[in-house]
Amino acid sequence: MTEARHAGMSSAPTPLPHSESGSPAAEMDPVEYTLRKRLPRKLPKRRNDVYVNMKTDFRAQLARCQKLLDGGGHREICVHGLGLAINRAINIALQLQAGSQGALQLAANTSTVELVDDLEPEDPDESGEPMTRTRNNSAIHIKVFYPEP
Amino acid sequence: MSASKVKMRDRKMKNQPASVQYSSPSAAAGSSSQNGRQEAKDSGWQRNPPPRTGWVRGYQRDGGGGYMTEMPKYITAGAFARSRAAEVKAMLKAVTKRTGSNHVFQALPKHMRRRAMSHNTKRLPRRLRDVASKMREKSLQAGSKKKKELAKSKSRKARRRHGNLLLEFNRRQRKNIWLETHIWHAKRFHMVKKWGYCLGDRPTCKCYRPCYRAMSSHCLLLDISYYCCIELRGEEDTLLTALSQLTSKETGPTFAAALCLSGCRQGSVTVYRAGQYPSHPLGPVTFLWRPRAEGSASRQLWIWAHPALKQDLLPELQRVCECFEAVVPPVIPVATPAESASTLESEPKPEVSPKAKVTPGGKRKRSRVDAGGPPAKKILGDGTRSPDTPVTWKSSSSGIVINDLTMEMVRYRLVGPQSHSVLTETLEAATDCDEAGQSQASSLWWPQHCRDERKMNLHQQQAEVFNTLKGIYSSGEVPPGTVLGLTVDDPRLTLPAKKVKAMPSVNQSQEADEEKRRQLMLQGVPQLCSQSCLWEQSVRDNVTENKISEQELNRMRSELLVPGSRLSPTPLQGRIPILLVHQPGKQVGNDMSSWGAGWDLLLPKGWGMAFWVPLVYRGVRIAGLHMSLKRSQNQGAPHFPHDYPDCPAGIRFQEEQEAELLDKFKRRPPAKRTNYIKHGCLAPFRCPWQQLVEEWELLTRQRGDGQARSTTKPKEEEMTPQPDHAGTKPQSGFTVVRSRKSLRLLSAWCKLPTSRGQRPGRGGGAPPLQQSAADAFLASHRMSVAWVRLSLLSKGKPELHAMVCAPTPEDLKLLGKRDAGTCPQEPPHRDDFKSKTRRRKKSSKTGAGPLQSSDYPGTEASEPSVDAEPDLVLGVWPDPLPSITSHCSRVTLGWVTEGDFSLSAGCGEALGFVSVAGLLNTLLSQPEEHRGKVLLRNPSSLHYRFAQINIEV
């Protein structure tokens, strides 16, 4: 994968960061607004894209990647992680590499993903406008590949 | 002699003259003048009670001597001869008359009979042929008479002829309303008759999982035109004050929510009887305000309600709006000259009247072209009501007009992340009409529309927004509830030759597009673009009236120079105003957010099939009622009649469901039925909510005694069994908690303190769960149940009406061990009713004789019985139920109304209600680490399964 991807999560629910203390949330009274997070923007994914989340078992995700590399006939796969899942994406990539006796190589890219939150007023009749805000979150895209001989 | 022998003899002797009978010797000897009497009365011998009624032939030895004893001393010649003559005559008559079947060849001895004699008279001896052919003619005649009655149905070919078929369809639509896609569905779906409609329940093909996949990754299409639309028109303020009586701010945004009021979002509310919140809920509705037109204070509001709700909602709306003056349909001003009298007839009506016979209302020409065609016209809209039922009510005091638009619009629901791709691929913003078209005077609405510069500007903007939709990847990215008005070309013109799967076309687009897309995602559709001509009755009627028929369209296609190319220019009739309404997906909880998001497509009536087929050709899956239930289950949203047990429609639904389930249960042979009594399941077919909340209220009052151990309930509770008497006002004393604040509190209490999804900042708002806080909460929700979502922690699939129970401390220890195989079990119960049922069955058999012998024990209820219980069905607890909460070894908290293995969560999931008092009681007694753990037990099982309770706001 050559081009840097701008955004990325797809498939199962992607973990969203659970606290952004420095964000505008601090100014808002939590009683007056309900925060509703929208899903991160999805992009079409190829067969060898793996989006890592925090809900699925780690071993299962690792096995899935292993399978793509071994039996799936792919020379390279791309592991994506957003926010909290960055850690896990790195873990998976390193495990894959360790398990391959040095045959696999890694190439990591980072990016920033824009996320959208809806803020709905509790008492809609008086305060009117619900708000929408965007915030940014980090993402990592690790290419795991067999180097060309 | 056996009874059958007697019967046979009677039959044989039926046609025999009585005088030929052998009289028994003693009878013959009874009187000397017997001969004379016999001629007077043929049945003389019967007068003497025969000592032996046997079929006796010949001389009998017993009977005291036989002939020899008493012979007549003398004979009167005349009388003797007369009676002998009568006997001879009778004998001759008997000889000529055949008994039994009347086939001629039966007169032949066996060796002369031939095969197929009755078919071919030539096989008979000549002397019998005349008789045989006569008989044959006779039987043919009789047969043809019978056939004549059947022959009313014409040949299949004749029946399938278009006009006749249409007549037949129209006849069948008189009782239940057909959707416009009915024929399409009837060929592919199991149809059910519900709420006065014929609806597709589930496809005949096996496609449960494909449908689920379509919902979660592509697009699923549902025809929900059966939803009823009620239009309200009037001043904004008067409308809002009237409607505010029906809702409460505590349950969330109301009709007056600023964003919805502007018209660019669809809103949803739960409606209550006027001023009765929190009791007497009616049900959920969605509503749509028409965007304000400049310079006019009058507003238009559409309220979309489920048909089961409409009969309750409409009178309530009339009451709060004081609209009691029914407007007789013909008085309605018709705006378009193109409309003829048929339009007036076609006005919608609320009440279903089977009287509409000869000229059912709603008949309408499909297109003006075939106006001279066959007299039968396709029914569009509601065919079941009579044309003169009022559909409009107005108020002289408030100036509000209520208009019932049932079946006036078609509504399709597309569910799934790709639904916008399907829409953008199927629909194309309408092309302007050229100068020539504009200048011509025409009755079509589009050329007139094109002349207005402002309107065309708006159209351009709308088309632009619509094209931006192509750039987004998932339908969930759009702000929930967005409304987009649009005018589109006839989608039949762009029908692909082959079914294709619509896929998103996301590409790295230019900056400008990117900016627009961002705008759409953040702000939604600009307020202006939510306007649509679909709001205008005149435009709707015009479009419906002028639809090009399929036949005409095909003719135009066939005249094309290049076969298969697109018609150009697009015929002027093919411009349809539509509304696209975004449906938010899953909005509650942390997982799978915006699952099942999609779009609703609103069309003028008559255009249903014209849009349906092109949509189907874009690779969507079609589903019916069953899948829409599964959708709301996966989405964690209550489904209308099912999950509203305190609404009148919900109560009606429960009764129907109970009758249906009981009926199904009784159809099984008794030995093959589940014995629910032995399983400790008191109410497998219904949920006695009322009794549950009453018992829990009593329990909380007695809590001073310590343990929540129930005592025997006082009689009064058993006197109030839950089935509220249908028809009367719902006397349900219990309510479902819908206040957001209360739900949020409950939700916080149910969560594990360490639960990952909980934000430290937000959880802090709720007071910690303590006795005092719970008491305060209970004070206001004494008689309430709360809607909860249960996810199983181990294996198991919850079923309908599974019990939600509170675990004992020992059970929770089991849970700590993390041993998947060990779940608590219910000890089997004793069925004391079984012997009683059996005895009843036996006694009814012997006592009442053969009449009841074929009945199952369940149907014995109809027979007047000595026993007190009116209804004993083997395996089901008879009606006055004992205490529900304490019946099993674990205390019952509530029941599941919908349960299944959830494909989205990968474990069993159930939706149900629990008593608030019971829930708090359980939570208080649970240690922190097991907060919100309950037990779930299916009605036909003794195994309890652990589940985690979730209340999502």
Quick check: A39 and B477 CB within 8 A?
A: yes
Statement: residue A4 has pLDDT above 50: no
Task: Give the per-residue pLDDT at B189.
Answer: 92
> Most B CBs within 10 Å: which of A41, A115, A117, as the mutation test of the B interface?
A41
The answer to whether A29 contacts chain B (CB < 8 Å) is: no
Task: Give the per-residue pLDDT at B720.
Answer: 38
* Span B921-941, average pLDDT: 85
Query: With pLDDT > 70 as the criterion, what percentage of chain B qualifies?
Result: 76
* Span A66-78, average pLDDT: 85
Contacting residues of A for B473, CB less than 8 Å apart? 41-44
* Span B321-341, average pLDDT: 55
Task: Give the per-residue pLDDT at B712.
Answer: 38
Decide if B236 contacts B299 (C-beta within 8 A). yes
Contacting residues of B for A39, CB less than 8 Å apart? 474, 476-477, 593-594
Statement: residue B507 has pLDDT above 60: yes
- SS3 assignment for B560-589: CCCCCCCCCCCCCCCEEEEEEEEECCCCCC
Contacting residues of A for B520, CB less than 8 Å apart? none
Statement: residue B221 has pLDDT above 90: yes
Of B46 and B259, which is predicted with more confidence? B259
Task: Give the per-residue pLDDT at B510.
Answer: 62
* Span B783-804, average pLDDT: 88
Quick check: A43 and B257 CB within 8 A?
A: no
The set of residues, in sequence order, having a beta carbon less than 8 Å from that of B422 and lying 6+ positions away, is B219, B414, B502, B615, B618, B619, B620
Residue found by looking up tokens 């014409």 in the block: B154
- SS3 assignment for B446-504: HHHHHHCHHHHHHHHHHHHHHHHHCCCCCHHHCCCCEEEEEEEECHHHHCCCCCCCCCC
Task: Give the per-residue pLDDT at B868.
Answer: 45
Quick check: B760 and A19 CB within 8 A?
A: yes
Residues forming beta bridges with residue B943, ordered by sequence position: B825
Of B153 and A7, which is predicted with more confidence? B153
* Span B323-330, average pLDDT: 72
Statement: residue A133 has pLDDT above 60: yes
Quick check: helix, strand or coil at residue B684? coil
Residues forming beta bridges with residue B413, ordered by sequence position: B222, B600
Task: Give the per-residue pLDDT at B144.
Answer: 66
Tally of helices (H runs) and strands (E runs) in chain A = 3, 5
**Is 0.85 exceeded by the ipTM?**
no
Contacting residues of A for B256, CB less than 8 Å apart? 124-125
Task: Give the per-residue pLDDT at B932.
Answer: 83
The partner residue sitting opposite A38, judged by closest CB among B253, B477, B759, is B477
Give first-to-last CA distance, chain A, whole Å. Answer: 18
Task: Give the per-residue pLDDT at B709.
Answer: 42
Q: Sorting pLDDT into bands at 50, 70 and 90, what band is A114? A: confident
CA distance A119 to chain B (A): 11
Q: How far apart are CA B229 and CA B350, in angstroms?
A: 11
Quick check: A18 and B759 CB within 8 A?
A: yes
Q: Quick count: other Cβ atoms within 10 Å of Cβ B908?
A: 23
Residue found by looking up tokens 């060796």 in the block: B111
Task: Give the per-residue pLDDT at B617.
Answer: 92
Of B711 and B450, which is predicted with more confidence? B450
Statement: residue B890 has pLDDT above 50: yes
Q: Residue A58 has which token pair?
A: 């780690």
Over residues B456-493, the pLDDT tens digits come to: 888 888 888 888 888 787 888 888 888 888 888 888 88
Q: What is the largest CA-CA distance in chain A?
A: 68
Statement: residue B87 has pLDDT above 90: yes
Q: Residue B147 has which token pair?
A: 């056939």
Q: Which residue of B has its CA nearest to A31?
A: B765
B348-362, B510-524, B680-694 — which is least confidently predicted? B348-362
Task: Give the per-residue pLDDT at A94.
Answer: 92
* Span B926-953, average pLDDT: 86
Q: Sorting pLDDT into bands at 50, 70 and 90, what band is B376? A: low
Task: Give the per-residue pLDDT at B704.
Answer: 52
Q: How far apart are CA B497 and CA B500, in angstroms?
A: 9
Over residues B745-757, the pLDDT tens digits come to: 888 888 766 544 4
Of B852 and B898, which is predicted with more confidence? B898
The set of residues, in sequence order, having a beta carbon less than 8 Å from that of B186 and lying 6+ positions away, is B198, B200
CA distance B897 to chain A (A): 27
Of A37 and B126, which is predicted with more confidence? B126
Quick check: B474 and A42 CB within 8 A?
A: yes
What's the length of chain A? 149
- Residue B521's nearest CA partner among B476, B552, B562 is B476
The answer to whether A24 contacts chain B (CB < 8 Å) is: no
Averaged pLDDT score across all residues of chain B? 76
Residue A89 exposed, middle or buried by CB count within 10 Å (0-12, 13-18, 19+): buried
The set of residues, in sequence order, having a beta carbon less than 8 Å from that of B438 and lying 6+ positions away, is B447, B450, B451
| Pairing assessment for the beta strands B621-622 and B220-223 based on DSSP bridges | parallel
List Cα–Cα distances, A2 to A70, A107, A140, B437, B671, in angstroms.
22, 10, 14, 53, 69
Q: How far apart are CA B91 and CA B17, in angstroms?
A: 8
Question: What are the b/e assignments for B219-236, b being 16+ CB within 10 Å?
Answer: bbbbbbbbbbbbbbbbeb
Q: Sorting pLDDT into bands at 50, 70 and 90, what band is B870? A: low
Contacting residues of B for A19, CB less than 8 Å apart? 759-761
Task: Give the per-residue pLDDT at B559.
Answer: 85
Task: Give the per-residue pLDDT at B31.
Answer: 42
* Span A80-87, average pLDDT: 91
Question: What are the b/e assignments for B679-689, b being 16+ CB within 10 Å?
Answer: bbbbbbbbbbb
Residue B278: cis peptide before it, omega within 30 degrees of 0: yes
Statement: residue A6 has pLDDT above 50: no
Query: With pLDDT > 90 as the criterion, what percentage of chain B qualifies?
Result: 11
* Span B553-567, average pLDDT: 81
Q: Residue B564 has which token pair?
A: 């298969």
Q: Sorting pLDDT into bands at 50, 70 and 90, what band is B436? A: low
Q: Sorting pLDDT into bands at 50, 70 and 90, what band is B723? A: very low
Statement: residue B907 has pLDDT above 60: yes
B179-183, B391-395, B551-555 — which is least confidently predicted? B391-395
CA distance B253 to chain A (A): 6
Statement: residue B404 has pLDDT above 60: yes
| pTM score | 0.73
- Residue B774's nearest CA partner among B840, B708, B818 is B708
Question: What are the b/e assignments for B513-548, b being 16+ CB within 10 Å?
Answer: eeebbeebbeebbebebbbbbbbbbbbbbbbbbbbb
- Residue B480's nearest CA partner among B572, B600, B563, B370 is B600
Statement: residue B233 has pLDDT above 80: yes
* Span B667-691, average pLDDT: 87
Statement: residue A51 has pLDDT above 80: yes
* Span B162-175, average pLDDT: 86
